[in-house]
Amino acid sequence: MTETEHRKRAAAAIDRGELVVYPTETVYGLGASALSPAAIERVFTVKGRDRSAPISLAVPSVDAASPYVTLSERERSFMETFLPGPVTVVAEKRPAVPNLLTAGREKVGVRVPDHDLALALLETVAPLTATSANVSGRPSARTTAALDPEIREAAAVVLDGGRTGGTSSTVVDIEQDTIIREGAMAAAVAAWLAEH
């Protein structure tokens, strides 16, 4: 099966409410429709993730985030500088985003992964959940061989993009001038916040 056929199978699975594993530039992600409460619930269940912990969403471009978040000029400027890339931007969510995804919060994390296979999948079907493809508390997977058995079993399709970078994304709230989680490119993010 070609990569394109495999990707189409993954997109079809997501449309059916199923889970897929997809590569990013950081770690492997567990993808489901980020607009379907039932699909989001499956992500929480499979990961054994606390429902009070929000999940980010992934889109193929900054413009593609518009239906899901309200962006200030400063937030958009930051996103256009750093995305695609290993940074998650927390912004005010629009009504289309289920409260389950954000654990009831008014903001949601937005991710545009810098990985060709992930972006191609997102061009076909988005937004997807952007959370690491591992059982909560266990290490993130940098290869498909390292996936937890529970994740592999739950995923309808596993897209293999080879070894990933391994460092988690930096999570930032631009409006609050706050780095919520330091990860890849944290120093560059901090420098941008200080300068803008």
- What's residue 77's pLDDT? 98
Task: Determine the Cα–Cα distance for residues 32 and 17; give it in Å rounded to an integer.
Answer: 7
- What's residue 44's pLDDT? 98
User: Other C-beta atoms within 10 Å of 98: how many?
Assistant: 19
- Residue written as token pair 């059916």: 16
Give pLDDT tens digits along the chain (196 positions).
788 899 999 999 999 999 999 999 999 999 999 999 999 999 999 999 999 999 999 999 999 999 999 999 999 999 999 999 999 999 999 999 999 999 999 999 999 999 999 999 999 999 999 999 999 999 999 999 999 999 999 999 999 999 999 899 999 999 999 999 999 999 999 999 999 9
Say if residues 155 and 177 touch (Cβ distance below 8 Å): no
Q: Is 109 exposed, middle or buried (0-12, 13-18, 19+ CB in 10 A)?
A: buried
- What's residue 166's pLDDT? 87
| 177-114-136-108 Cα dihedral, nearest 10 degrees | 40
Structural domains for the chain: 3-195 (3.90.870.10)
- What's residue 53's pLDDT? 96
